[in-house]
Every structure is written in C-alpha cells, then in structure tokens.
Amino acid sequence: MEILVILVPLALALGSAGLIAFLWSLRSGQYDDLDGAAWRAFADDEPPQQAPTSASASSQS
Amino acid sequence: MQVTRDFSHYVRTAGEGLQHIDLAVEGVHCAGCMAKIERGLSAIPDVTLARVNLTDRRVALEWKAGTLDPGRFIDRLEELGYKAYPFETESAEATEVAESRFLLRCLGVAAFATMNVMMLSIPVWSGNVSDMLPEQRDFFHWLSALIALPAAAYAGQPFFRSAWRALAAKTTNMDVPISIGVILALGISVVETIHHAEHAYFDAAIMLLTFLLVGRFLDQNMRRRTRAVAGNLAALKAETAAKFVGPDEISHVPVAAIHPGDIVLLRPGERCAVDGTVIEGRSEIDQSLITGETLYVTAEQGTPVYAGSMNISGTLRVRVSAASEATLLAEITRLLDNALQARSRYMRLADRASRLYAPVVHATALLTILGWVIAGAGWHDAIVTGVAVLIITCPCALGLAIPTVQTVASGAMFKAGVLLNAGDAIERLAEADHVIFDKTGTLTLPDLEVMNAADIPADIFALAGRLALSSHHPVAAAVAQAAGAKSPIVGAVEESGQGVRATVDGVELRLGRPPFCGAETLVGGATLDPEASIVAFSKGNEKFILSVRQGLRPDAQAVITALKARNIGVEILSGDREPAVKAAAHALGIPEWRAGVTPADKIARIEELKRRGAKVLMVGDGMNDAPSLAAAHVSMSPISAAHLSQATADLVFLGRPLAPVVAAIDSARKALHLMRQNLWLAIGYNVLAVPVAISGVVTPLIAAAAMSGSSILVMLNSLRARSASREMA
C-alpha cells in the first residue's frame, strides 16, 4: 500500500493540471465562440493574425 | 453638401495605442465567410486584429490608433458582400458575459473536485465490503475533505450568495434548500471522518454542486446568447440619422448620439429614426409601422414625425424632440409599462415546481430524524439518515429539467429562424390557443409589390423597372425590384414629388404620378384595390397603370390553415382602414376581424379574451402593436418590426414567410411536454430513492448513483427537443 504515497499525489497533480489548463483556456477566451471554433477546424489556413502589439507600439513612438 | 460618417461613438481604446470596434455582421454562417472576412480585413494596413465570432455574428477589429477611419471596415465588408453595422455592447450584456464565465469557472472547479473525490470514494466503497484498514479509510476520507471543502466553498458561491440574499430579504428560493443540503452534508461528513465512520458524503455534496452548476450555466448561457442576438438586431437595423453639423454639412451618426434640439435631414425613401417636427420641406409620410394606416399622410412645416415612419417623396429638415430610447408616444409607453407589469406575475414552471419542492423535502428530512429518534435510534444515527434524505432528494434533476430543454429548444428555434427574447417564452408560447394578427407588415409583407405586373407587356415593364432605378421613392424601388432591373437608364431626371423621366431613342419615358404621365383618364376606369398606390408609366403615347401595394406574406394562407388545424383561434386586429382589412381577412378566410383599432382597443380585446380563459399569442410589428404585444400572454414580431415592438415581443422571426409562427408553436409545445416529462422523471426518481434513504440503509454509493442517474436521464431526455428543428427544416 506504500504505492499510494506516490499514486495519490500523482493523480491529484494530474487533475490539478487539467483544472489549471481549463481555467487558462477559459481566461484566454477560448469558450467565447464555440460555433466558430467548430468551423475553424476545417479552415485551410488561419489568416495572418496578431501583429505583435508591443512592437507596433514601440515603432510608433 | 458635404457628408461624413461619424463612428467615434463606438470606438474604444484598447491600450498600447490601439483602437477597437465591434461590428455586427449580417449573413455570416460558415467557415468560408469567417476566413473571407478575416483575410479581407487583415489585408488593410495597420489592422492588428480581425476576428469573427460566429456565435454572436460579430467581428472584433483593432487597429493602430488614429490611422484608420472605422467607416473603411464597413466599406471593405460591403465589397466582400456583407452588411455590417457598428455595435455597442450594452452594460447588461457585459454583466451577463462575466457571470457566464464565472459559472463556467465554478463548474470547472466542481467537476475537477467531483472526479477526484469519486476516485477516492470508489476504493472506500469497495474496501468497506472487503479488507480496507480503518486507517486507510480515514486517510482517504481526509483527502476527500481536503479536496471537497475548498472546492465547494468556491464552486458553491452562486448558490450560497443567492440563498443568503433570499434569507436576508426574509424569503426563500430554490438555492436555500440547496445550500442547506450541501453545507449539512459537508459538515456531517467532517464529523463522521473525525469519528472514523465507514461513510462520508463528500462525493455526494460536490457532485450535487456539479450537476446544479451545469443547469445554471445552460440557463444563463441561453439568456446570454439571446441578448447578444437581440443586441445585433438593434445594430442591424442601422439606426443612424443624417445630422446637420454645420449649415451645409451633414454627418451620419448613430441614433444614440442624437439629442433633442438637433436638426436632421430626412431624404425620400429613408426611415425616420427620431421623433421631431418638420421645420422645412414638404413630403408624404408612410406611418404604417406606427399606426397601421397604409395611406400616406402629408408632412409640411410644423407636422410632427415619429420614429419608424418612412419619408416618401420630398426632403425634410426635422428638429428632434426626442431621440434614441425616448422616441415614443407617451400613451404607448404608458400602456406598455402597465402591460409589462401585468405579465411579470407569470410564474415559470421551474418556480412553481421549486415552490412545492422545498417544504416537502425539508419536512421529509425532519420527519425522518424525528421518526428514527422516536423509534429508539441515537441522535447521531438519526441525523445521518436525515442528511442522507436531504442529499438523495437533491434538486439537481429538478434544476436541470427546465434549462436543458430550454437550451436545446432555443437552439432548434434559432436554426429555424426564430429568436427568443425571453427565457420563459417557450412555456408561454406552448400554452397559446388564440392568435391575433396585426395586418400591415405582419400578414402582409413590409415591402411594396406590383400587383398587376402580369397585365403589362414584359418589355414595357422591364423599361419601367430600369427607369425606376433612378428614383429613391419606395414605390419606384418596388417597380424596379419586380422588373428585376439591373441597369438604370442614362440621363434619367427625377422631378421631386412627380416622378422620373428620360428620353430613349427620341421617345420620352415617364414614370410617376398619373398626371405627370398624362394618364389621369386611365385611373378612373381601372378597378383597383382601395389601398394600392397607383403609378403610371408612359412611353410616348402608350400609357400604363401600375398598382403597387403590400402583398400578403407568401404562405399566410397555409399558416392560417395550419393554425386552425391545431384548434387555435385566429383573428385580425388592425389599425388600418376597413376596406383594406376586410380584403385581407377575406383572402385568408378569417371571419373574425376588426379594423381601425387603437392600441387601447387592442389591449381591451386581449383582456376580454383573457377573461374568457384564452391564452393569446399576439403577432404584430407596428409601434402601435407594442402595448398589445406586451399585454398578450405571449407575442411574436417579424424582424422588420419597429424597434420597440421587437424589443417587446417574446420571439422574433426572420425572413418573408409566416411559417416560423407555426413552427415555433409546435416546437414550444414539444419542449413544454419534455419539461413536464423531465419534472416527472425527477419526481419519480425521488419517489423511488427517498424510501430507501428514510429506511437508513442508504450508502453514499446509492445516493451518488441515484442522483447522477436521474440527472443524466433528464439531460438525455432534453436532447429530444432537437428533433423539432428537423421537422421545421
């Protein structure tokens, strides 16, 4: 039964990792458009997105 | 005259020298549209973000501050084939998004805890019947407590807060028994764990929270989505006005940025977005959306005009007396408020169920404890059994029964072109047994149609259509549309208030008022519809008369028949003149109709029907219908309706056909049936499980199985509401 000392923390760690991943994905807005996300999987290529905002800000100044 | 567009009202600063605007886009429905729009907009230099949200049908755009005019995005989208409108998030919508996210976060935490506590519980359950050492069991129980207690403290917040608010206000709601159940179950589990007992209820308590959060999230999400779509509808109606910013300079600004005292320009063919008084110009105004009257009224200096009326022939300058939300006749607002108050007394099915539920459950638990004490059991055993009863009767199936069906049914209706404005609209629509239709814009199409196109030689009609393209007049637009005209005639001249003329191959063509075309004599001879507008077309000496009016919706007849087949009473109440209403009623075979009805009369008729026990569905689009829409048991509006009516109606349907009315009734009836079935399923489970719990033999395993079993069954049953969309499609 000593194996529990390893397995129980391991299981909890995996579970927490899942929870943290979920909270992160929620925070980054990945559940905001579920209909769109379903279709995006079929898109051939993502259009160019997200020009680095910090770089654009510094080039402006 | 210089014209500019001003969208500054909608632009937000997004930090780091970026600006942000949200656009509501019409006609986005697939991956192709998404990629096309995103690629097309990203190609504009200095755009840093262009992302389509398919759920809400919106585009979020960010660009370097000060480099671009937002109007350019709208032009670009138009080039791509989409109509877009700037869009402002209402604060209510923002709150709902935040609340929805919070619920999802709580759900995540609760689901994580449930899975892990279950993982620890199963060894305990199987260990209890075999060879588990008490120390190991205690270790597992403590570990469960370590996970479940903080998780419940976080994930239970939506329920605890609401229960606390209710108690502070000295009332009770569904969340009070939930909170008591969860807290008692956790408390007794800790006590049991300290006393090295065989059973603890951490798993049951946290699972209860998980299932309840699923129901709460679905409920919330449906309302959030509805509000998002309703917000788009408001934006898609493109309510902008041409405001004078200088003596000779106008700017197109959103109605929200217009204030009383401003002066706006109203051109022919434009719908007025504000209330005001004409200060210059002369024209005819179509007030059918406001009064239901299809004949035009003359507007000149001093005439009041109301939002929703269409300017027909001349250009007007209007001094604004009320704008934005205040554009209503005082009487309509007053009637509306009264009607809405009356309706708020409607009790939702879930509320009615939970009102019965809480006392029954608490009484059962209390009686169980007392019963066991009287029967000679110790206080400890009696209380444990009492808590087991509380847990097993947990209202999770009850909490899921309504929201799951609502979510699935609203999704099905959404696909069929019906949008829900109110959460309980499905329940009320299912009960409707009498339908009152408004005529103008509801049974008839809001656009004009040429009624006698078949009587005119095709080549002449095509020529008239091409000439009509040069005019802004709505009647001309109807002629152009009916003729399928694509290319205007070069050199056509519009004479304000008269018509259009042009010369082709030395022959003069004229389209407009009969005198303008020299065709007065023809009008008298023609036996034409009393409500039609007459325009004449002349080609040299050949003269023709066109009769233009609002046609009936293409499937109005079929819909009336379908309603009668469902034993639903049908009648027409219209503010329009008697001959017009009579003609429509006769064409559709509706014996009950009334014409020239005022908003107060409409409400009186609805009240009369209510007293007779009828549940009235009101279908209307005009501003004069808004109070009766609110007074009826349930109401629907077409998408072309006046802003106010649309906001008041419980359901809004899209497109030209009237069929969504029947489809929505069918779908709502099916959904209500499923809701009732779900409630009975939940009650049935409790009837089976409660005696087991009272008898004191319940283990956490039985409690967990009964609870999750009933919840899953209810959810699966709700999915049957999906088939409604297939029947409609």
CA distance A59 to chain B (A): 11
pLDDT of residue B190: 92
Give me the residue from B42, B52, B112 closest to A36, CB to CB.
B52
pLDDT (mean) for B575-592: 86
Contacts of B528 (CB under 8 A, 6+ apart): B452, B534, B545, B547
Asked if B307 contacts B643 with a C-beta cutoff of 8 angstroms, the reply is yes
Closest CA to B701 of B206, B210, B204, B211: B204
Query: For residue A22, which residues of chain B lie inside 8 Å, CB to CB?
Result: 108, 112
Summarised one tens digit per residue, pLDDT across range B289-343 is 777 677 778 888 888 888 778 887 788 888 888 755 544 555 566 666 666 666 5
Asked if B432 contacts B633 with a C-beta cutoff of 8 angstroms, the reply is yes
pLDDT (mean) for B473-491: 80
pLDDT of residue B149: 95
Token digits of residue B624 = 């004069």
CA distance A18 to chain B (A): 8
Closest CA to B277 of B337, B322, B341: B322
Give the Cβ contact number of residue B609 at 10 Å.
19
pLDDT (mean) for B629-649: 83
Share of chain B above pLDDT 90, in %: 12
Q: How confident is the model at residue A59 (pLDDT cuts 50, 70, 90)?
A: very low
pLDDT of residue A20: 94
Q: Of the ranges A44-48, B416-420, B443-447, which one carries the lowest mean pLDDT score?
A: A44-48
Give me the residue from A23, A39, A49 closest to B34, CB to CB.
A39
pLDDT of residue A51: 44
pLDDT of residue B352: 76
pLDDT (mean) for B561-566: 91
Would the CB atoms of A15 and B112 count as touching at under 8 Å? yes
Contacts of B683 (CB under 8 A, 6+ apart): none
Query: For residue A54, which residues of chain B lie inside 8 Å, CB to CB?
Result: 16
Strand segments, DSSP code E, in B196-340 are 240-246, 249-254, 263-266, 275-280, 283-286, 297-299, 304-305, 310-311, 316-322
- Between the CA of residue A38 and those of A27, A30, B31, B225, B232, what are the distances in Å? 19, 11, 9, 17, 22
Task: Examine the pLDDT at B230 and tell me if it is beyond 50.
Answer: yes
Residue B395 and residue B410: Cα distance in Å, rounded? 23
The residue among B341 and B228 whose pLDDT is bigger is B228
pLDDT of residue A57: 37
pLDDT of residue B572: 92
State which residue of chain B sits closest to A43, comparing Cα positions.
B31
What structural domains does chain B harbor?
A: 8-87 (3.30.70.100), 92-232 (1.20.120), 238-326 (2.70.150.10), 333-416+670-728 (no CATH), 417-445+553-669 (3.40.50.1000), 446-551 (3.40.1110.10)
Alpha helices (H) along B3-51 = 31-42
Give me the residue from B39, B109, B136 closest to A1, CB to CB.
B136
A5 touches chain B (CB under 8 A): no
Would the CB atoms of A15 and B17 count as touching at under 8 Å? no
pLDDT of residue B135: 87
* Residue-by-residue DSSP string for B426-438: HHHHHH--EEEE-
Closest CA to B573 of B551, B552, B603: B603
Residue whose structure tokens are 């005259």:
B1
Asked if B394 contacts B435 with a C-beta cutoff of 8 angstroms, the reply is no
Q: Of the ranges B322-331, B511-520, B662-671, which one carries the lowest mean pLDDT score?
A: B322-331
Residue whose structure tokens are 């499609």:
B729
First-to-last C-alpha distance (Å) of chain A = 64
Give the Cβ contact number of residue B507 at 10 Å.
13
A19 touches chain B (CB under 8 A): yes
The residue among B724 and B517 whose pLDDT is bigger is B517
pLDDT (mean) for B596-624: 88
pLDDT of residue A54: 38
pLDDT of residue B285: 84
Residue B108 and residue B306: Cα distance in Å, rounded? 50
Query: For residue A35, which residues of chain B lie inside 8 Å, CB to CB?
Result: 54-55
Q: Which of B55, B130, B229 to mutate to test the interface with A (most CBs of A within 10 A)?
A: B55
pLDDT of residue A53: 43
Pairing, β B283-286 against β B297-299:
antiparallel
pLDDT of residue B433: 92
Residue B61 and residue B47: Cα distance in Å, rounded? 7
Summarised one tens digit per residue, pLDDT across range B123-140 is 888 887 788 888 888 989
Chain B positions contacting chain A at CB under 8 Å are 16-18, 30-31, 34-35, 38-39, 42, 48-56, 64, 101, 104-105, 108-109, 112, 115-116, 119-120, 136, 139, 143, 147
Share of chain B above pLDDT 70, in %: 90
Domain boundaries, chain A: 1-44
DSSP letter assigned to residue B531: T
Give me the residue from A8, A12, A36 closest to B55, CB to CB.
A36
Closest CA to B364 of B189, B174, B187, B177: B177
Summarised one tens digit per residue, pLDDT across range A27-56 is 888 888 877 888 887 776 655 554 444 333
CA distance B386 to chain A (A): 32
pLDDT of residue B347: 64
Q: How confident is the model at residue B108 (pLDDT cuts 50, 70, 90)?
A: very high
- Between the CA of residue B539 and those of B111, B506, B512, B722, what are the distances in Å? 77, 10, 12, 57
Q: C-alpha B209: how far from its chain's center?
A: 30
B438 noted as active-site residue: yes
Task: Examine the pLDDT at B712 and tell me if it is beyond 80.
Answer: yes
pLDDT of residue B542: 83
pLDDT (mean) for B703-718: 82
Summarised one tens digit per residue, pLDDT across range B37-62 is 888 888 888 888 888 888 777 888 88
pLDDT of residue A52: 43
pLDDT of residue B568: 92
pLDDT of residue B618: 93
Summarised one tens digit per residue, pLDDT across range B344-378 is 566 677 777 777 777 888 888 889 889 989 988 88
Task: Examine the pLDDT at B496 and tell me if it is beyond 60.
Answer: yes
Asked if B625 contacts B647 with a C-beta cutoff of 8 angstroms, the reply is no
* Mean pLDDT, rounded, of chain B: 81
Task: Examine the pLDDT at A58 and tell me if it is beyond 50.
Answer: no
pLDDT of residue B160: 93
pLDDT of residue B1: 52
Task: Examine the pLDDT at B541 and tell me if it is beyond 60.
Answer: yes
